[in-house]
């Protein structure tokens, strides 16, 4: 049997309607941009959005707070909510995932007998760093290891979750290999034993359809620099509505108070709604810059983005097979996110050479070269990336 797959069926028969969006991204004029798993390209309209921020500050001054700025963590969160299936008023913006995880884990008392935190062995390091820090508060951290460093069979995750588990954490799509977890099954198991689930959606939101409300996850966190094309400083936190009454995050601040402008000292009287998961002054310019990306992703629709991504990542795999390169991401499109990881000799140097040739990709030790088409990518660019990789590799 031939190992070279037939790639004709992976090409677009009659044009690609999503390519009309290319004009929106100035960097595509001179760069093959295959790195939205790391930093998505800037939408052209962000320039106007940031101008709008400075104009508002300049002309409205302090009145800008009550004219929209103060509520931006929630109004901006609603745009994210429309992409991840959260009801209105259930997502708040923070600077990054690390802060969101700190807030989530601060909702629990780790000295109780239910003190186990189960984390997936492919989780993003920042998440682990925060969890292991909880050990000094009494938490028992159980990291479910991946035998191959790339995938994590569902059964291993399910087996680790028991009646002593307080929180289950996973990166929905693994940053290193693009492995896609079965979030529904993990959430079901966690809830069956009375545990909470926090899903890091950074590598899935905007490229894999998600419905946090239908999944029933308790918390979801993520950020905007990648598939959502929103730039830095705009992380987000989703919390299931019924948890407002139960949870009192110890990592907090005055914006989480029921009446923040009363400036009352002493212990906090939490806001009754999602505002209780805020902390201090919001990162307003980051939210101005982030909204454009969300609007574009929402307008295209994640289902259409996913269909194209599955086709082009399959095309990447087929082309990589043709040149005999090891593929580290799952071959089944249903089991992977939007990135393909290719392991080549001297991967770091090959990556540097590709960047020199205006083909933007990145390298992760122990995994390989990460390559990600997005909705603006043409099939020619996919082929060009593999051709340049082949030539850089042989240099
Ligand atoms: C899955 C995942 N979580 C979190 C992060 C980053 O976390 P933070 O927003 O705290 O920088 C990344 C990548 O940078 C990631 O891939």
pLDDT band at 14 (very low <50, low <70, confident <90, very high): low
Ligand 1 contact via 338 beta carbon (within 6 Å): no
Check if 96 has its Cβ closer than 6 Å to any atom of ligand 1. Answer: yes
Instruction: Reply yes or no on whether the pLDDT at 3 is more than 80.
Output: no
Q: Is the CB of 38 under 6 A from ligand 1?
A: no
C-beta of 200 in contact with ligand 1 (< 6 A): yes
Ligand 1, atom 14: nearest CA belongs to which residue?
38
Q: Which two tokens stand for residue 139?
A: 């938490």
* pLDDT value at 7 more than 90: no
Å from CA of 273 to ligand 1 middle: 26
Q: What is the pLDDT of residues 147-204, one digit of tens each?
A: 999 999 999 999 999 999 999 999 999 999 999 999 999 999 999 999 999 999 999 9
Q: For residue 11, what pLDDT band results from cuts at 50, 70 and 90?
A: low
| pLDDT surpassing 70 at residue 4 | no
Whether residue 200 contacts residue 124, with contact meaning beta carbons closer than 8 Å, is answered with: yes
Backbone torsion region of residue 345, taken as left when φ is above 0, otherwise alpha when ψ lies between -120 and 50, otherwise beta:
beta
Nearest atom (ligand 1) to Cα of 99: 10
With contact defined as beta carbons under 8 Å apart, do 369 and 341 qualify?
yes
Say if residue 347's pLDDT is above 90.
yes
pLDDT digits (tens, 9 = 90+) for 372-382: 999 999 999 99
What value does the mean pLDDT take over residues 217-232? 98
Phi, psi of 186 (to 5 degrees): -70, -40
Residue to probe by mutation, ligand 1, list 98, 124, 230, most atoms within 8 Å of CB: 124
**CA 312 – ligand 1 centroid, Å:** 24
Verify whether ligand 1 is closer than 6 Å to residue 171 (CB atom): yes
Q: What is the mean pLDDT of the chain?
A: 96
Say yes or no to pLDDT of 213 above 70. Answer: yes
User: Mean pLDDT over residues 285-296, rounded?
Assistant: 98
Length of the chain: 395
Higher per-residue pLDDT: 2 or 204: 204
User: How many A from CA of 134 to the centre of ligand 1?
Assistant: 19
**313 pLDDT band (50/70/90 cuts)?**
very high
pLDDT tens-digit map of 45-78: 999 999 999 999 999 999 999 999 999 999 999 9
Binned at pLDDT 50, 70 and 90, residue 366 comes out as confident
How much distance in Å is there from the Cα of 198 to the middle of ligand 1? 14
For 54, counting Cβ atoms within 10 Å of its Cβ (0-12 exposed, 13-18 middle, 19+ buried), the class is: exposed
The answer to whether the CB of 40 is under 6 A from ligand 1 is: no
For the CA of 223, the closest atom of ligand 1 is 9
């Amino acid at each position: 049997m031939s190992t070279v797959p037939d790639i004709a069926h992976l090409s677009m028969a009659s044009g690609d309607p999503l390519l009309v969006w290319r004009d929106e991204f100035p960097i595509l004029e001179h760069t093959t941009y295959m790195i939205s798993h790391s930093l998505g390209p800037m939408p052209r309209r962000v320039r106007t959005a940031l101008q709008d921020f400075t104009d508002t500050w300049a002309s409205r001054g302090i009145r800008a707070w009550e004219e929209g700025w103060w509520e931006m963590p929630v109004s901006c969160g609603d745009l994210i909510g429309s992409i991840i299936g959260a009801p209105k008023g259930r997502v708040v913006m923070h600077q990054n995932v690390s802060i969101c995880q700190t807030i989530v884990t601060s909702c629990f008392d780790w000295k109780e007998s239910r003190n186990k935190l189960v984390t997936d062995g492919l989780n993003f390091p920042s998440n682990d760093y925060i969890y292991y820090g909880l050990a000094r508060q009494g938490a028992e951290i159980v990291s479910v290891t991946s035998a191959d460093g790339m995938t994590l069979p569902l059964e291993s995750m399910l087996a680790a979750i028991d009646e002593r588990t307080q929180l289950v954490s996973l990166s929905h799509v693994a940053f290193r290999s693009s492995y896609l977890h079965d979030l529904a099954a993990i959430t079901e198991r966690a809830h069956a034993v009375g545990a909470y689930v926090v899903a890091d959606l950074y590598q899935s939101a905007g490229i894999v359809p998600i419905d946090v409300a239908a999944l029933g996850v308790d918390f979801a966190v993520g950020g905007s620099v990648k598939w959502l094309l929103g730039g830095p400083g705009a992380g987000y936190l989703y919390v299931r509505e019924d948890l407002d009454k139960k949870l009192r995050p110890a990592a907090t601040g005055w914006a989480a108070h029921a009446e923040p402008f009363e400036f009352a000292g002493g212990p906090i009287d939490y806001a009754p709604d999602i505002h209780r998961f805020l902390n201090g002054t919001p990162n307003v310019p980051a939210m101005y810059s982030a909204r454009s990306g969300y609007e574009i992703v929402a307008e295209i629709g994640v289902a259409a983005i996913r269909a194209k991504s599955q086709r082009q990542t399959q095309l990447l795999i087929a082309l990589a097979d043709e040149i005999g390169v090891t593929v580290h991401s799952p071959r089944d499109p249903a089991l992977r996110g939007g990135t393909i990881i290719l392991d080549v000799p001297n991967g770091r140097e090959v990556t540097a050479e590709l960047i020199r040739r205006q083909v933007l990709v990145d390298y992760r030790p122990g995994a390989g070269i990460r390559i990600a088409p997005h909705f603006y990518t043409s099939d020619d660019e996919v082929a060009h990336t593999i051709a340049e990789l082949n030539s850089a590799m042989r240099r």
